[in-house]
Amino acid sequence: MPVTVTFRMLKIGHKPYYRWLASPVTDTERGQAYPRTPLFDAHLDDPEFGYRFLMDEAAESGQLMATRTAWRACSHTGW
């Protein structure tokens, strides 16, 4: 299926698509992903604990973050 037909069917503009294609991950998304990595690692080790414990584990590994940031990351991923 040609790309132009896909754009027309999905009602996507050409320019926004090619702008996204040039940089699929924004700086904001990249900045939000870094604090989540230690939380994810701590969750793999202890999946039964909540965001406060995971936040403490991340702090021990050197990634300090606000309580709200840890809560948002954990609630967004369903922990």
Q: What is the pLDDT of residues 24-36, one digit of tens each?
A: 888 888 887 777 8
On the question of pLDDT at 77 being above 70, the answer is: yes
> What single DSSP character describes residue 24?
S
Domain count, the chain: 1
Return phi, psi of residue 78, to 5°.
85, 25
pLDDT per residue as tens digits for the range 15-73? 988 888 898 888 888 887 777 888 888 888 888 888 899 899 889 988 888 899 889 88
Tell me which residue range forms the domain holding 41: 3-77
Residue 39 and residue 74 in contact, taking contact as beta carbons nearer than 8 Å: yes
For the whole model, what pTM was predicted? 0.58
The residue to which tokens 């965001």 are assigned: 51
In the prediction, which pLDDT does 38 show?
86
Q: Is the pLDDT of residue 1 over 80?
A: no
CB 67 within 8 A of CB 55: yes
What is the CA 54 to chain-centroid distance, rounded? 16
Contacts from 60-66 at CB under 8 Å and sequence distance 24+? 62/38, 63/34, 63/35, 63/37, 63/38, 65/35
pLDDT score, position 23: 86
